Amino acid sequence: MDGQNGMQRHIALSLLIGLLIAVSPVLAQKQQPQQPAPSPSNPQTTDTQDGGKRYGASFADNSIGSYMTTAIFPSLLHEDPRYYQLGNGRSAHRAYHAINRLFVVRTDSGHERFNFSESTGNAVAAGISNAYHIPEDRTASRNASTFAFVILYDGMNNELKEFWPDICRKVFHKDTP
């Protein structure tokens, strides 16, 4: 695949994913029949049920996002999604490295480029989530917040991967790799 042609394909894929995110709440709302209003006789039951549904949906958002960004899209785009720890150096440099890996990735050929797997995988996960979120949550702003939260979660995960060995050594007085 030619470098320029490959970049154009990735940009087109990203635009298509963006369109999916923008349109999916509308499509999901049109396909979902209206549900009856909750009974006022027992409002706590419906609050608990909605909280459980939202928790399950949030868990699914994160699981699907992780699967898309570490399995599906890296395979399709020939990217290496693994995080490689620096392990030494200034803390600020290591923290920057952990966040930078959200945006820069190594390809199978060893070159670095924009991390399409992270952005498109999480965007697709946000779009897919419209299939199981409750109708009130099927909005473009919820899709955007799901997308942002999953990227934030991945960034925090990278930071923990980078600094956890140091934390273990200093707090728990254990010498772990």
**pLDDT tens digits for 98-150?**
999 999 999 999 999 999 999 999 889 888 888 888 788 788 888 888 888 88
Q: Residue 29 pLDDT more than 70? A: no
**How much is the pTM?**
0.67
Sequence-distant (≥ 6) Cβ neighbours of residue 168 within 8 angstroms? 174, 176
Mean pLDDT, the chain, integer: 78
Q: Residue 25 pLDDT more than 70? A: no
**What are the residue ranges spanned by the domains of the chain?**
46-171
- C-alpha R_g of the chain: 20
Q: Residue 13 pLDDT more than 80? A: no
pLDDT at residue 51, rounded to an integer: 75
